[in-house]
């Protein structure tokens, strides 16, 4: 396969009032993952020059299955949301900063402040 899953279609809209086809998941070590250009959330506009507009989900899946070895995709990159949840990545990774990246520096600063305060109080 091509190494990714899709969602959407006229019969299974992923986004309300939008029947487009979107990449829902990139399979680790699959063709799309190894190529590196396709991203989860990308809208797929065409496959090998065939427009995906107004297709049912199963027809889009069939189009991908019959795409052949050399596949050309025309995509529209998704816009990154300013606030709110990040799309499901499927491999256990979140899209934001890890909690430790925020907590560790914060705890280190707090510990340093307490140490300085205690040292200052001892000298008084």
Residues 55-96 pLDDT 10s: 999 999 999 999 988 889 999 997 665 555 555 444 444 455
Take residue 22 and report the two structure tokens written for it: 């979107």
Distance CA(55)–CA(100), nearest Å, equals: 44
The reported pTM is 0.63
Q: Is 51 helix (H, G, I), strand (E, B) or coil?
A: strand
Alpha helix stretches (DSSP H) within the chain: 31-35, 57-65, 99-123
Phi, psi for 93 (deg, rounded to 5): -95, 140
Question: Mind listing the domains of the chain with CATH numbers?
Answer: 4-76 (2.30.42.10)
At 34 the pLDDT is 93
At 113 the pLDDT is 78
Of the candidate ranges 10-19, 27-36, 39-48, 97-106, the one whose mean pLDDT is the lowest: 97-106
Query: Is the CB of residue 44 less than 8 Å from the CB of residue 6?
Result: yes
State the chain's maximal CA–CA distance in angstroms: 80
- Rounded mean pLDDT of the chain? 82
119 pLDDT tier (thresholds 50, 70, 90)? confident
Of the candidate ranges 52-56, 87-91, 101-105, the one whose mean pLDDT is the lowest: 87-91
């Amino acid at each position: 396969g091509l190494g990714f899953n899709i969602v959407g279609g006229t019969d299974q809209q992923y986004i309300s009032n939008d029947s487009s086809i979107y990449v829902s998941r990139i399979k680790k070590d699959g063709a799309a993952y190894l190529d590196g250009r396709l991203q989860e959330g990308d809208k797929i506009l065409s496959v090998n020059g065939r427009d995906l507009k107004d297709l049912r989900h199963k027809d889009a899946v069939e189009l991908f299955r019959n795409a052949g070895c050399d596949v050309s995709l025309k995509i529209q990159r998704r816009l990154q949301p300013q606030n709110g949840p990040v799309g499901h990545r499927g491999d256990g990774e979140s899209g934001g900063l890890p909690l430790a990246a925020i907590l560790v520096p914060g705890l280190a600063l707090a510990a340093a402040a307490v140490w300085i305060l205690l040292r200052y109080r001892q000298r008084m």
